[in-house]
Amino acid sequence: MKKGIKVTFQPEGRVTYVLPGTTLIEAAGEIGIVLSSPCGGKGTCGKCRVVISRGAPDPTDLDRSHFTADELDRGTRLACQTRVQQEMVVNVPSQSRFFEQKVAKTATHVEVELEPVVRTQFFQLEEPTLEDQRADSDRLLTAIKRESGEPSGGCPVKLHLSVVRKLPSAVREKNFAVTAVRADGEVIDVVAGDTTGRCYGVAFDIGTTTVVGMLDCLDAERPTRVAARTNPQVRYGDDVVSRIEHAQNRENGLLNLQESIVGCLNDIVGELCEKAGINRHNVFEAVVGGNTTMTHLFLRIDPSYIARAPYVASLRNGMTCDAADLGLDIHPNAKVFTLPNIAGFVGGDTVAVILATGLLKSDGIRLAVDIGTNGEVVLAKDGRLVACSTAAGPAFEGARITFGMRAADGAIEKVVITDDVELAVIGNVPARGLCGSSLIDAVGELLRVGVIDMTGRMREPENLPESVPPLVRARVARADNGLRFILANPDETQIGGPIYLTQRDIRELQLAKGALAAGVATLMKEMGVRPSDLQEVLLAGAFGNFIRRSQAKRIGLLPGVPTERIKFVGNAAGTGARMALVSRACREEVEKISLVTRYVELAGRPDFHEAFAEAMLFPEP
Amino acid sequence: MKKGIKVTFQPEGRVTYVLPGTTLIEAAGEIGIVLSSPCGGKGTCGKCRVVISRGAPDPTDLDRSHFTADELDRGTRLACQTRVQQEMVVNVPSQSRFFEQKVAKTATHVEVELEPVVRTQFFQLEEPTLEDQRADSDRLLTAIKRESGEPSGGCPVKLHLSVVRKLPSAVREKNFAVTAVRADGEVIDVVAGDTTGRCYGVAFDIGTTTVVGMLDCLDAERPTRVAARTNPQVRYGDDVVSRIEHAQNRENGLLNLQESIVGCLNDIVGELCEKAGINRHNVFEAVVGGNTTMTHLFLRIDPSYIARAPYVASLRNGMTCDAADLGLDIHPNAKVFTLPNIAGFVGGDTVAVILATGLLKSDGIRLAVDIGTNGEVVLAKDGRLVACSTAAGPAFEGARITFGMRAADGAIEKVVITDDVELAVIGNVPARGLCGSSLIDAVGELLRVGVIDMTGRMREPENLPESVPPLVRARVARADNGLRFILANPDETQIGGPIYLTQRDIRELQLAKGALAAGVATLMKEMGVRPSDLQEVLLAGAFGNFIRRSQAKRIGLLPGVPTERIKFVGNAAGTGARMALVSRACREEVEKISLVTRYVELAGRPDFHEAFAEAMLFPEP
C-alpha cells in the first residue's frame, strides 16, 4: 500500500489523504467538495479553477491556455488537470463550486389507486400436531393461496431462500402468527406477529444533475417524504456524454459512476427514513427513473454505445433486481425496478413524464417538453406517441454561458427592462450569475426593446432604435471579443466585476432553443400537426417550472399557442416514478409506453437540420 | 489472532495447525482424515479412538470408561473428547477411520426425453443502424420470442442483471452472433458466438453417508460422468439426528454443516468437470436430492423441528436458488433446484426414488424400499402412494454392531455355512469387519442351521441341534457378556484378533429389520394390501443392491414374496435426481409426488408398535 498524501481544502480546512496521481477534482469530491466540471475533466471549460497556496506543481499547457502569468504565479490551476504528488493546500473559490439547484421538493399529488406490487399480509397459521405435520413452508403457502388465490397470472407463489431460512424461528416466535411481505409471486420477508402498516417503498428520479427521492408507505396512509441531492456524478462531468466518456476511458470509470449514484441514493434513503422514523429494512421496494444513461450507470451497464452512432442503448426494458445486488441499502430482498427506456437518448424519465401526464391514455393533441440537462420532447396525437431528444439543456443550466449558473442562491432569476434593467436574484443576495430563466428573460427583453435583432445580432450602440431608453442604451459596451450587454454593475454583484451577456452567449441560447424548437417542429411534422392544433403544451422538469411562458414564446422556445395552453406539470418524471411504485397498473403501463412510443432520431435527418437553421432565428414579434 | 498449535497425524505424517481447544476429530477432519463418529462426538460410542504418542493430555472420565489403564498409559484417547492445548503427534488406527463405502458408480440409464429447464439458443442478431436503433436487450428478446414463443405459461422472458451487463460487449464481439443460456423464463448467460453443445448440468444425491454427483450435457449427447465422496458431515455424527443436534447446539453448527456439504459438492464438481474436460462455469444447473435433513442443511435451514415432536420440516416444496447464493462453485447464475420433501423423515431422495421407479404413474401394487442410513418405504397402489421412514439403516451400515463397518475394503460381504463357515471379503484382503449384507447372511445362515432360534436367541453349545456340523459348533464361544459366534479366526483378520457376532449384535439386527418390516406391514395395512398382492418389491440404495434376496426373506427383512418379484433398482435416488435435471416434465412430476404421497407417522402409533414387536422375531422357516 502506498501512503496517502495530505491535501487540505480551504476555506473549509477539510483534509483528505490520497494516492499519488489523484486529481484535485477527485480528491475534493471524496470529502464532499464538488467542483464544477462541465467538460468532464478534459481541461477545456476552465470552470474548475483553484488556487494552490502550497505544493503547486508546474502549470500544464492547459493551465497556461486558461490563466494569465500572474494567475499562474499565484498558484491558479485547473483542478481536473492537477495531480497530487506532494502535500498541498488548495483554495476553492465559490465560482468553481457546483451548487445545488433549487428544485420543487413538494411531491405532486398522484391520483392513482394504491395497488403496489409489494404488499404485506398477516396470517395466524395453524400450529402443527402429530395429525397435521405439514411443513412450515406449506402452512404459509396454503394460507397465502387461501387468502389471495393464485397471483400474477398463475405463476405459483415462491419463497425466497432467506425467508425459508427465517421461517422456523419466525413462525414459532409468536405462536404461528406471522406477517409475510410479498413482491408479485415471491415472499421476500416473513416477520413474527402483525407488522402490517410498516411496508415502505421509495421512488427515485435520477437526473443528470439532481436526484430526488420520494418515500411512500405501501400498506397504510402516511405522508410522502421527499429529499433531494446533487447527483455526485457531476464530478465526472456535467452532461451524459462526459459521463459516458468517463465510464469508457477511465479505469474503473463505470464502477466509480455506479458507486457514486448508489451512494447518493443510500444517503437519500437515510434522510427519508429518518424523516419517517423507520428502519431502512422497512423499505421493500424501489422504483428508479432516469434518462437512459443514468439507468445504465445505476445498473453498471456499459453506456458507450449510446453516444456512438447508431446511438443504441443496451437496455430498453424495465429491470427488476434485488436491492442487495445493486448495493442499495434497503431491505436486501427488496425489488428494485428501473423504468424502461424508449431509446438511447429518451429514457425512463420521459416514460415517467408520459405516465404522469397521461399522454398515452388521452385523446387530442398534446406536447410535453421536459427540459433538464437534456431536452426531451413528446408529442401525443390520440394515443399515438413520438419522442425525440435535443441537446437543449446545457445552456439553460448555465453551461457555455459566460456568467451562466444553475438556479441557486445568487442567480439572477428574472430580468425586466423598463427605463433601465431590473433584476430579481435568488436568495436576495448580490448576483453571481445568470440562470436559465433569466437568460430567456434577458434575451426576450433585449429582443422586445430592439437591442437584439431577429437574427440574434446585438446592435452597435449607434444603430440602436430610438425607442431604447438611455440607461439601457448605456449598458451596451464594446470589448475585444465583440459587444456585451451589462446586466449588473460591479456594485450589484458578489464577484468583484459586472455580469454581462455576450454576443456568444446569445448564440448559445439560439443553439439551445433552436434545437428544442426544431425537435418540436420535426415531431409535429411527423404527426402532421400544426402549432394551432396543440391543445396543451406541458412543461416538465426543474427548469421548466421557473420559465416565464410569454418570454419562452417570444424567443421561439415554445410554439406560438395561447399562453393559457402552456401548463407547468412540476417534476413529472418523479411523479411518474412514484406512480409506478404505488400502482401495479402503472407498472404495466410504463412497459407499454416504452414499447409504443416511437423514437425519432434527429441526427442526420435533413428536415431537422433545416428546421434547426430556421429555429435559430427569433420569431417576428 | 492466536497462533495455531501443530498437530501431526500418523501414519500419514500430515500436519495441521489449529486453535487451542479444537478437538482432534475436528483437526483431523480439516486435513481430510475422517474419523468414525457414530455418536456425533458425544464420547459414548468409542469408535474414534486414537493413540497420542506426544503431548497426550490427562485422560477424561469418558476416556477411562472406554480404555484400560494400559491403553491410557500408551496414550489412547477419544479423538472427539481430546482438545488440543499443546503440540501433539497422533496415531490414527485404521479401525477408527471412516471408510468410503463402495457404491454403484455407474449411472442408471434414464428413459426420459431430454427437455431440460436450462437450454442454450444461438442467434445471429441484426446489427443496429440509424434506421433500427433497437436496444441490445430488445434484439435478443425479440429473437428469443420469435424462435420459441412465450415460455413457461405466458411469463415474459427476463434478462438477468449480469446478462444485461455483459450484453453490450458480448453482442459486438462476434458481429451480433450470440448464444443465450436460458433457465425457464430467465436468460442467465450470454456468450459471443455459437457455444451451444457446452451446457452442462449436475445432479447430486446427498446421502447421510455418501454423496454422488452426476454430470450431464444438457444440449448435446455426451457420456454421463459420475463421482462420489463420503459426506464430510459424518465428522459431526453418523446419522441425521446427531447432525440436527450439532446444528442446534453448537455455535455455528448449522453453518459448519452447510459449508461442509457445499465443499463436498464443489469437490465433486471439480472431479466431474475434469473428467469431462470442461470449465465449472459451463455447469448451468444443479438438482439436489437428499433426505429432508440433508436438504435443510444444504440450504442452511434450521432442521431442529424435524427431530422434535410433532416432527415437522420447515421446507416441503422444491426450491430454486442461484448457485452463487449457496456457495456452489458452478456458473454463478446457475439454478439450483432442491427436490421437494414429503415429510420430516421422508425427503427428496424418496421423491427421487418414486420418480425413478415410476410408482406414481404405474398401475398395480408395488413396494419400494430404500435402505440407506435410514430406511424409507413407499407403497403404491394404483397411483396412490403412502410412505414412512424407519430407523433401519444404522445396523446395516455397521453402527452398533461389534465388528460392524461399511461395505469397504476388508469388509466380509458374504457368509455361507457348509461344513464350516466360508467368507468372501471385499478387496480380497484379510477381514476387518462385517458389513450389512454379511450381517444378514450370517444371521440367515445361523438361523438356517439352527445356531439361532426363531426368537433370535443363540443356542448354548450343548443345546445346538444335531445337524450343526462340528466345525461350526466349535465356533460358538462363551464370553463375559454372553455367547458369541466366531466368524473369522485371528489368522484370517487384519485386526489382530477374531471377528465374531455377539448376542447383542443379533438383537441390533432384529431391531433394525423389525423396524423396517413393521414399517412395511403398517403401510400394507393402511392400504389393505397383503404380501401376496405385491407385484414388485423394489430395492433401492447402495446397501439394497448388495443384499441377497433369499437371506433377506429368511430373516424377515422383506415380505414373503417369490424371489423373482424382488428387484434391485440401483441408486434410484440418484437416478431420480438426474431425471429431474434433464427433463422439465420430471421436474413437474416431483412436485406432484411430494404433494400426493401421504406420509404415515409411525411414532406413537399402537399398531406399528405391535407390528414391530412381531417383526422382531424371525419368520418360521
Greater pLDDT, A569 or B315: B315
Say if the Cβ atoms of A153 and B154 lie within 8 Å: yes
Helix (H, G, I), strand (E, B) or coil at B4: coil
Cβ within 8 Å, pair A167-B301: yes
What's the pLDDT score for residue B397? Answer: 76
pLDDT tens sequence across A317-330? 999 999 999 999 99
Give the closest-approach CA distance of A601 to chain B in angstroms: 8
Rg (CA), chain B: 27
Interface test with B, best of A129, A138, A338, A608 (most B CBs within 10 A): A138
Q: What is the mean pLDDT of residues A260-289?
A: 96
Interface residue of A161, A188, A304 to substitute, partner B, most B CBs within 10 Å? A161
Q: Which residues of A touch B341 (CB under 8 A)?
A: 135
DSSP-derived secondary structure for A200-229: EEEEEEE-SSEEEEEEEESSS----EEEEE
Give the pLDDT of residue A101: 46
pLDDT tens, residue by residue, B160-182 = 999 999 999 999 999 999 999 99
The shortest CB-CB distance from A135 to any of B135, B168, B312 is to B312
Q: How far is A37 from chain B (nearest CA, A)?
A: 28
- Which residues in chain A touch residue B128, judged by CB atoms under 8 angstroms apart? 310, 312
Q: Which residues of B touch A301 (CB under 8 A)?
A: 164-165, 167-168
Confidence of residue B99 (pLDDT cuts 50, 70, 90): low
Scanning the structure block, which residue is given the C-alpha cell 387530442? A364
Question: Residue B331 and residue B186: Cα distance in Å, rounded?
Answer: 14
Across the range B252-263, mean pLDDT stands at: 96
- Mark yes or no for CB contact A165/B301 under 8 Å: yes
Q: Do B310 and A128 touch (CB under 8 A)?
A: yes
Neighbours of A470 (CB within 10 A): 8
Q: Dihedrals φ, ψ of B254, to 5°?
A: -65, -40
Compare all CA atoms of chain B with the CA of A133 and give the residue at the minimum distance: B312
Read off the DSSP letter of residue B281.
G
pLDDT value, residue B150: 52
The dihedral over CA atoms of B519, B521, B527, B533, expressed in degrees to the nearest 10, equals 130
Q: At what angle do helices B503-527 and B606-616 cross, to 10 degrees?
A: 140
Closest CA in chain A for residue B336 = A161
The phi and psi torsions of B458 (rounded to 5 degrees) equal -80, 135
Cell triple for A527: 404527426
Q: What is the rounded average pLDDT for all residues in chain A?
A: 90
What's A430's DSSP letter? -
Residue of B125, B155, B297, B315 for testing the chain A interface, max A β-carbons within 10 Å = B315
Identify the pLDDT of residue A481: 84
Three-state DSSP class for B283?
Answer: strand
Looking at per-residue confidence, does B548 or B279 come out higher?
Answer: B279
Cβ contact, residue pair B603, A310, below 8 Å: no
Query: What is the amino acid identity at position A572?
Result: A
CB contact under 8 A, B305 and A168: yes
Q: How far is A596 from chain B (nearest CA, A)?
A: 13
Say yes or no to pLDDT of A124 above 70.
yes
Mark yes or no for CB contact A312/B133 under 8 Å: yes
CB spacing of B168 vs A321 below 8 angstroms: no
pLDDT category at B155 given cuts 50, 70, 90 is low
Q: Annotate B485-502 with DSSP letters as a single string.
A: EEEE-GGGBSSSS-EEEE
pLDDT band of residue A102 (cuts 50, 70, 90) is very low
For position A372, what pLDDT does the model report?
A: 76
pLDDT value, residue B405: 85
Task: Give the sheet arrangement for strand B5-10, strand by strand.
Answer: B14-18, B5-10, B88-91, B49-54, B76-78
Whether B495 has a pLDDT exceeding 60, the answer reads yes
Measured between beta carbons, which residues in chain B are less than 8 angstroms from residue A344?
133, 135
**Contact flag B312-A603 (C-beta cutoff 8 Å):** no
| Residue among B67, B90, B82 nearest B14 (CA) | B90
Q: Return the residue of B nearest to A137 by Cα.
A: B315
Radius of gyration of chain A measured on its C-alpha atoms? 27
Instruction: Give this prediction's pTM.
Output: 0.83
Q: Which amino acid is at B88?
A: M
* Residue A382 and residue A405 in contact, taking contact as beta carbons nearer than 8 Å: no
Lowest mean pLDDT among A499-503, B85-89, B409-413: B409-413
- Summarised one tens digit per residue, pLDDT across range B366-389 is 999 998 778 899 999 998 999 999
Q: Which amino acid is located at B50 in the chain?
A: V
Higher pLDDT: A101 or A346? It is A346
Reported confidence tier of residue B588, pLDDT bands at 50, 70, 90:
very high
Cβ neighbours, 10 Å, residue A111: 7
pLDDT at B298 over 60: yes
- The reported pLDDT for the residue numbered B502 is 95
Confidence check: pLDDT of B106 > 60: no
Report residue A393's pLDDT band, with 50, 70 and 90 as the boundaries: low
Give B-chain residues touching A169 at CB under 8 angstroms: 302
Q: How confident is the model at residue A571, as a pLDDT?
A: 83
The continuous run of DSSP H or E covering B368 comes out as strand B365-371
pLDDT range class, residue B104, cuts 50, 70, 90:
very low
pLDDT of residue A265: 97
Average pLDDT over residues B532-558: 86
Among A130, A132, A310, whose Cβ lies nearest the Cβ of B130?
Answer: A310
Computed from CA positions of residues B242, B247, B251, B256, in that sequence, does the dihedral angle turn out positive or negative?
positive
Residue B136: list chain A partners with CB under 8 A: 305, 312-315
CB-nearest partner of A310 from B133, B304, B313: B133
Per the listing, cell 439394497 goes with B544
Query: How far, in whole angstroms, is CA B489 from its chain's centroid?
Result: 33
Cross-strand bridge partners of residue B211? B206, B229
A/B interface, count of CB pairs below 8 Å = 143
The Cα of B360 is separated from the nearest Cα of chain A by a number of Å equal to: 21
Out of A226-240, A523-537, A574-588, B589-603, pick the least confident: A226-240
Q: Is residue A418 exposed (0-12), middle (13-18) or buried (19+ Cβ within 10 Å)?
A: exposed
Least confident among A91-105, A131-145, A256-270: A91-105
CA dist A82 and A28 (Å) reads: 12
CA-CA distance, A470 to B552, in Å (whole number)?
120
Give strand pairing partners of A321: A336
Sign of CA dihedral A499, A503, A504, A509: positive
Buried b (16+ CB within 10 A) or exposed e, B268-306: bbebbbeebebebbbbbbbbbbbbbbbbbbbbbbbbbbb
Give the residue from A231, A239, A293, A234 showing the smallest Cα distance to A268: A231
Specify whether the CB–CB gap between B373 and B400 falls below 8 A.
Answer: no
Question: Helix A572-582 vs helix A348-357: angle between axes, to the nearest 10 degrees?
Answer: 80
Query: What is residue B2's predicted lDDT score, i.e. its pLDDT?
Result: 45
Residue B168 to residue A304, Cβ atoms within 8 A:
yes
User: How confident is the model over A8-31, as a mean pLDDT?
Assistant: 85
User: Do residues A130 and B309 touch, judged by C-beta distance below 8 A?
Assistant: yes
- Which of B136, B141, B164 best tests the A interface by mutation, with the highest count of A CBs <10 A? B164
The pLDDT score that the predictor gives to residue B544 is 65
**Closest Cα in chain A, distance from residue B559 (Å):** 28
CA distances from A192 to A166, A179, A284, B49, B80 (A): 10, 6, 17, 46, 38
Distance from CA of A584 to the nearest CA of B (A): 16
- pLDDT score at A548: 85
Helices (H) and strands (E) in chain A, counts: 19, 27
pLDDT for A239 equals 85
Contact B319 A164 (CB under 8 A): yes
Q: Check: CB of residue A531 under 8 Å from CB of residue A559.
A: yes
- Which residues from chain B sit within 8 angstroms of residue A248, using beta carbons? none
Residue B302 to residue A169, Cβ atoms within 8 A: yes
Q: In this complex, which of A167, A300, A601 lies closest to B314 when CB atoms are compared? A: A167
Give dist(CA A365, CA A534) in Å, integer.
5
Tens digit of each residue's pLDDT (9 = 90 or more) over A604-613? 789 999 999 9
Of B10 and B443, more confident = B443
Mean of the pLDDT values across residues A344-355? 96
Instruction: Please name every residue paired with A365 in a beta bridge, in sequence order, or none if there are none.
Output: A381
> Which of B133, B300, B315 is facing A343, going by the closest CB pair?
B133
Q: What is the average per-residue pLDDT within B595-617?
A: 92
Residues of B in contact with A603 (CB under 8 A): 130
User: How would DSSP label each residue in B400-440?
Assistant: TSTTB--SSTTEEEEEEESSSEEEEEGGGS-B-EE-HHHHH
> Taking residues A516-524, what's their average pLDDT?
95
Whole-number mean pLDDT of chain B? Answer: 90
The answer to whether A580 touches A559, Cβ cutoff 8 Å, is: no
pLDDT for A36 equals 76
Question: Are A302 and B168 in contact (CB < 8 Å)?
Answer: yes
| pLDDT greater than 60 at residue B21 | yes
Alpha helices in A158-307 (DSSP H): 161-173, 240-249, 253-276, 292-298
Q: What percent of chain B has pLDDT above 90? A: 68
Closest CA–CA distance from residue A169 to any residue of chain B (Å): 8
Residue-wise pLDDT for B115-130, tens only, equals 899 999 999 999 999 9
CA distance A299 to chain B (A): 8
Residue B151 binned pLDDT confidence (cut-offs 50, 70, 90) = very low
B478: exposed, middle or buried (Cβ count in 10 Å: 0-12, 13-18, 19+): exposed
Q: Tell me, what's the pLDDT at A3?
A: 62
As a whole number of angstroms, the distance between CA B232 and CA A423 comes to 80
Whether residue A314 and residue B137 make contact (CB cut-off 8 A), yes or no, is yes
Please check the confidence at residue A152 and state whether its pLDDT lies above 50.
Answer: no
Which residues of A fall within a CB distance of 8 Å from B313? 135-137
pLDDT value at residue A568: 83
Residue A103 has pLDDT above 60, yes or no: no
Q: Which residues of B touch A130 (CB under 8 A)?
A: 309-311, 601, 603-604
The nearest CA of chain A is from the CA of B330 a distance in Å of 18
Residues of A in contact with B343 (CB under 8 A): 133, 135
